[in-house]
């Protein structure tokens, strides 16, 4: 995957995205991801790769200070349409190079984005950088621990559709300074553990 390809493929996905990824098991998993997150009024929350804004419907939008970024203008457009009367700050931005200050968010939310960006390690680093000390990073994504031979073979084909089926969260996290993050939660939320909710605190 590269940004140019993603931009194109998500412009195609944008009108139908919610039909596939914001109903049934996906919506149920999203609800589980946000269940128990103790947002406080005024918290600064960043949605990385917000897409059509599926997650935004599950948080108290009007009590939070929300910034939502995505590389695809078409996906952002879908999200903007749903939240016209809110004060969410939408920006077209590359998750691998966030144009946002260090230590500035109480929560950084990344749903279904690490498996999409060209460089998941760089994106994860950026997410840590912009999270404030004791702030939390919430990830909902598709990871694999031991990719089967079949997965290895079809991985490049599936990538064409804008998704990676062979990403290991452990590998992404390994490359980061373990001193800076603590894993608070890691549990399956969909499809027998293929999709997980991961909650991290920045030290």
Cα–Cα distance measured from residue 75 to residue 81, given in angstroms and rounded to the nearest whole number? 10
- Identify which of residues 18 and 106 has a Cβ nearer to ligand SAM in the complex: 18
- Tell me how many residues contact ligand SAM (CB under 6 A): 21
- Region class of 33: left (phi > 0), else alpha (psi between -120 and 50), else beta: alpha
- Identify which of residues 108 and 203 has a Cβ nearer to ligand SAM in the complex: 108
Name the nearest CA neighbour of 51 among 140, 127, 156, 121. 140
Q: Which two tokens stand for residue 115?
A: 């498996």
Q: How many CB atoms lie within 10 A of CB 10?
A: 22
Q: Which of 56, 66, 95, 137 binds ligand SAM (CB under 6 A)?
A: 95
- Residues paired with residue 69 on neighbouring β-strands, in sequence order: 48, 91
Binding mask 99-118 for ligand SAM (x = CB under 6 A): ------------xxx--xx-
Show contacts with ligand SAM in window 136-175 (CB under 6 A): none
Cα–Cα distance measured from residue 78 to residue 17, given in angstroms and rounded to the nearest whole number? 10
Q: How far is the CB of 179 from ligand SAM (least distance, A)?
A: 27
Contact footprint for ligand SAM (CB under 6 A): 3, 6, 10, 21, 49-51, 54-55, 70-72, 75, 94-96, 111-113, 116-117
């Amino acid at each position: 995957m590269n940004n140019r390809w993603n931009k194109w493929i998500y412009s195609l996905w944008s009108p139908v995205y919610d039909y596939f990824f914001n109903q049934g098991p996906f919506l149920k998993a999203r609800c589980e991801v946000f269940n128990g997150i103790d947002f406080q009024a005024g918290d600064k929350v960043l949605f990385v790769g917000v897409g059509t804004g599926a997650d935004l419907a599950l948080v108290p939008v009007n009590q939070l200070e929300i910034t939502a970024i995505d590389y695809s203008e078409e996906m952002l457009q879908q999200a903007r349409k749903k939240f016209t009367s809110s004060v969410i700050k939408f920006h077209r931005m590359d998750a691998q190079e966030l144009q946002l200050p260090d230590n500035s968010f109480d929560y950084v939310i990344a749903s279904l984005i690490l498996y999409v960006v060209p460089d998941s390690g760089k994106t994860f680093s950026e997410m840590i950088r912009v999270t404030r000390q004791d702030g939390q990073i919430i990830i909902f994504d598709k990871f694999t621990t031991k990719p089967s031979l079949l997965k290895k073979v079809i991985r490049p084909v599936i990538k064409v559709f804008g998704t990676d089926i062979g990403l290991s969260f452990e590998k992404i996290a390994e490359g980061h300074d373990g001193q800076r993050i603590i894993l608070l939660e890691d549990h399956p939320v969909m499809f027998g553990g293929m999709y997980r909710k991961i909650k991290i605190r920045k030290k």
